[in-house]
Amino acid sequence: MAGHSQFKNIMHRKGAQDAKRSKIFSKLAREITVSAKMGLPDPNMNPRLRAAILAARAENMPKDNIDRAIKKAAGGDSENYEEVRYEGYGPAGIAVIVEGLTDNRNRTASEVRSIFTKFGGNLGSTGSVSHMFNRIGQINYKAEVATADAMLEAAIEAGAEDCVSTEDGHEVVTSVDDLGTVRDALEEKFGGADGAKLVFKPSVSSPVDEETARSLLKMIDYLDDNDDVQNVYTNFEVSDEIMAKLSA
């Protein structure tokens, strides 16, 4: 009997993982379609589309799905997605920025607002928290691609502002304007990046206790679970000790 229950748990977990993967693929496909629609459908001539395809490949999205998403942009029947951004405060006044792609602004605004409210936060006006973040370019490579020194040297030579290397990989930081040229130079040297995109990086971080961290992580999960939400950025900082507890 115990074996049957264990099998059920494994199947449930697999089902949850499949659903999560399907949601990730759907968001990646939406970004590919929007990128192809905003520029040319050729990734060599469209940096945003190239970045979207790289992100999809990093998640092992099948080539058929990628091709279908690009073709969808050319079809007259494809949905019209527009970019939206929401700013506000989560639990304990932590700054939160949400980026989305939606075909219905009212629906997305209402759903995002209700998630903020559910966790005791509130949406603010545009600009209410973005001044606490820097808009930067971020290029990611796997750790085995190069040594920390080699990546730093190549990044600086290409015009990057910084490179942080850990056992998880290399994160190259650029200005907004230099993202494309730095990415191209690094790709020529190391091959395709795992990701290259503009992100919001907090300029001021706020440490939080375990209870607030738990609540914030749950709120981020709810936001990530929304089909229209593409990225969530916050400025909270959590100690390794608390993170280990929450991951247990």
pLDDT for 15 equals 56
Quick one: how many helices (H) and strands (E) in the chain? 8, 10
**7 and 70 both lie in a single domain:** yes
On whether the CB atoms of residues 171 and 140 are closer than 8 A, the answer is yes
pLDDT for 50 equals 86
pLDDT average, residue stretch 220-237: 95
Q: What is the pLDDT of residues 76-96, one digit of tens each?
A: 656 789 999 999 999 999 999
**87 and 62 both lie in a single domain:** no
Which of 36, 55, 74 is the last residue before a domain boundary?
74
**50 and 108 both lie in a single domain:** no
Which of 40, 55, 74 is the last residue before a domain boundary?
74
**119 and 217 both lie in a single domain:** yes
User: In angstroms, rounded to a whole number, what is the distance separating the alpha carbons of residues 146 and 220?
Assistant: 32
- Domain span at residue 179 reads 143-193
Q: What is the CATH number of the domain that holds 122?
A: 3.30.70.980
On whether the CB atoms of residues 85 and 14 are closer than 8 A, the answer is no
User: In angstroms, rounded to a whole number, what is the distance separating the alpha carbons of residues 152 and 160?
Assistant: 9
Torsion angles phi and psi, residue 237, rounded to 5:
-125, 135
Longest dimension (CA), the chain: 62
pLDDT average, residue stretch 98-120: 96
pLDDT for 205 equals 92
Residue 73 has pLDDT above 60, yes or no: yes
Task: Decide which of 204 and 20 is more confident.
Answer: 204
pLDDT for 16 equals 60
**175 and 233 both lie in a single domain:** no
User: In angstroms, rounded to a whole number, what is the distance separating the alpha carbons of residues 1 and 212?
Assistant: 39
**107 and 157 both lie in a single domain:** no
Residue 7 has pLDDT above 70, yes or no: no
pLDDT average, residue stretch 20-39: 90
pLDDT average, residue stretch 233-238: 94
| Count of structural domains, the chain | 3
Torsion angles phi and psi, residue 96, rounded to 5:
-135, 130
**149 and 87 both lie in a single domain:** no
Closest CA to 204 of 133, 128, 136, 138: 133
**182 and 90 both lie in a single domain:** no
* 35 lies in some domain: yes
Q: What is the CATH number of the domain that holds 54?
A: 1.10.10.200
* 136 lies in some domain: no
Q: How confident is the model at residue 14 (pLDDT cuts 50, 70, 90)?
A: low
* 138 lies in some domain: no
pLDDT for 109 equals 97
38 three-class SS? helix
**22 and 42 both lie in a single domain:** yes
Q: How confident is the model at residue 144 (pLDDT cuts 50, 70, 90)?
A: very high
DSSP string, 189-242: HH-S-SEEEEEEEESS-EE--HHHHHHHHHHHHHHHTSTTEEEEEE-EE--HHH
* 65 lies in some domain: yes
72 three-class SS? helix
**121 and 228 both lie in a single domain:** yes
* 186 lies in some domain: yes
| Phi-psi label, residue 230: left if phi above 0, alpha if psi -120 to 50, beta otherwise | alpha
Q: How confident is the model at residue 193 (pLDDT cuts 50, 70, 90)?
A: confident
* 198 lies in some domain: no
**153 and 177 both lie in a single domain:** yes
